[in-house]
Amino acid sequence: MTETSEPTAPARYPIDTSAFLFALILGPFWGTLVAIAIALIPIGLLSLTTGSEIGVYALIPVFGIAFGAPLYLTLGTIAFVLAARARANSAWIYALAAFLANLFSPLVLYLFANASRVPDPASISLFYLGFGSACAPIYGWGFGSIYINFTKGDAR
């Protein structure tokens, strides 16, 4: 008689709720702060040499926190829970999870805007997809770096 083994489900690890919520709230701010600090050096040099107002583009993630909060808290939370349960050990994995979650934002926004009878739901969806594609990985990296640092001692 041959024995058959049933396929096993991938291991799911518990999530540290307090670290998760702390990282969820502060992640976008930390990611934005680091991104601005990194971007200010080349943007500042470019602005000084060309005299242009290009430095204002460094503020896009700051305004993105307010505009993208509902999507970050819904789609981002789902992506981060899945990544944390899979025991992601790199902030870049959380950045990728946030980027992939952002790819669903046009569908969610289009359905919501269409149900709300917004005149041009496609434009709103594309607006959020464009800016979200730049901001979501920044916020995901911020979340991941905080969450991983707070759960470092938990058998990671």
Residue 42 lies in domain: 17-150
State the pLDDT at residue 156: 44
Tell me how far apart the alpha carbons of residues 113 and 153 are, in angstroms, rounded to a whole number: 44
Question: Which tens digits make up the pLDDT trace of 1-12?
Answer: 566 667 666 667
On whether residue 5 sits in a domain, the answer given is no
On whether residue 95 sits in a domain, the answer given is yes
CA atoms within 13 A on the CB side of 80: 33
Q: How many domains does the chain have?
A: 1
On whether residue 155 sits in a domain, the answer given is no
State the pLDDT at residue 81: 95
- Which residues, other chains included, contact 87 with Cβ-Cβ below 8 Å and sequence gap of 6+? 11, 13, 156
Question: Which tens digits make up the pLDDT trace of 114-126?
Answer: 888 888 888 888 8
Find the range with the poorest average confidence among 5-19, 74-88, 101-115.
Answer: 5-19
Classify 51 in phi/psi space as left (phi over 0), alpha (psi -120 to 50) or beta. Answer: left
